[in-house]
Amino acid sequence: MTEATGDDGIPICDAHHHLWDLDHYHYPWLSDSHDDFFLGDRSSLKRNYMPPDYRRDSTGLNVLKTVHVEAEYRRDDQVGETRWVTSMAERHGLPNAIVAHCWFHTPNSEAVMAAQAAFPLVRGIRSKPVTASRPRESVAGEAGAMDDPNWLAGLQRLKSYGLSWDLRVPPWHLEEAARVVAQIPDTPVVLNHTGFPWYRYNEGLEVWRRGMRALAALPNVHCKLSCLCTLDGWPYEENRMAVLETIDMFGTGRCMFASNFPVDSLRIGYGRMYAHFQRMVADFPAEERQALFHDNAVRFYRLA
């Protein structure tokens, strides 16, 4: 294993990264003025990020397959991003799978989902429900929230198209998400970003743990080990705790490494991040490490 990258020859299937072309397409969170990005200043992300950029960042690592997750491309053309990412895959050989976007609660939801499912690389949908901006606030009854009947109907429609759901909510919504996911036991679900263990004090961690345990109790739920950045950096020991607790809850068969690049480049380089993940699980049997870094993502996104 090299110190710079952590490469130990284990094959990698990166379960979550993004691409964007700001010269030709509109991504409101990158192109417009917003002050609410959860990692603070995102100015360094306001540049094109294409397959050659991803390959440069992951140089020296044995990345065999990747999964592109929707990057909040303009929502009035949800299929447009999928069309563009497909063209990138045809030209550059990555990504190998796409998690597309589709609002679950809008009148055109089924038409958009059908159009997304028609692309051969599309394996799932990421549709972020409306959530509260901080703990102890409520969005109950709002359109697009997890109790919205139209939103629930759209979520339940995934099964008929053979699609998985990438679940992304803040930690104070994890228990609610578990109650919702219990209603779709035959739909594969993967929790994004380690459930966002943002608040690393006793009460904040307990909220995260309760939600994580509730989701881990559902056998159709997997978890991406990703986006462990904080406003202050990428604290190894705190992140190690979160990763090992997550693996303990979900098991090595339902967790998967994901870079979340280029977003996580705000705090850490790809090679250094991968080295940290490898260090965290260095004592695991080789077959379990390969499952975490490759096999589970390949199985979940049907890339074999």
Residue 285 confidence class, pLDDT cut points 50, 70, 90 = very high
pLDDT digits (tens, 9 = 90+) for 251-270: 999 999 999 999 999 999 99
Full set of structural domains in the chain with CATH: 12-300 (3.20.20.140)
- The distance of Cα 17 from the centroid of its chain, to the nearest Å, equals 8
Round to the nearest angstrom and report the end-to-end CA distance of the chain. 26
Overall size of the chain counted in residues: 304
- Asked whether 51 and 19 are in contact (CB, 8 A), the reply is yes
- Asked whether 8 and 277 are in contact (CB, 8 A), the reply is no
pTM of the entire structure?
0.94
- Asked whether 116 and 100 are in contact (CB, 8 A), the reply is yes
143, 195, 114, 152 alpha-carbon torsion, rounded to 10°:
-40
pLDDT digits (tens, 9 = 90+) for 200-211: 888 899 999 999
- Asked whether 151 and 183 are in contact (CB, 8 A), the reply is no
Nearest C-alpha neighbor of 13 from the set 101, 87, 86, 95: 95
Token couple for 222: 């997997």
229 versus 159: the higher-pLDDT residue is 159
HSE-up (13 A, CA, CB side) for residue 129: 31
pLDDT of residue 8 exceeding 80, the answer is no
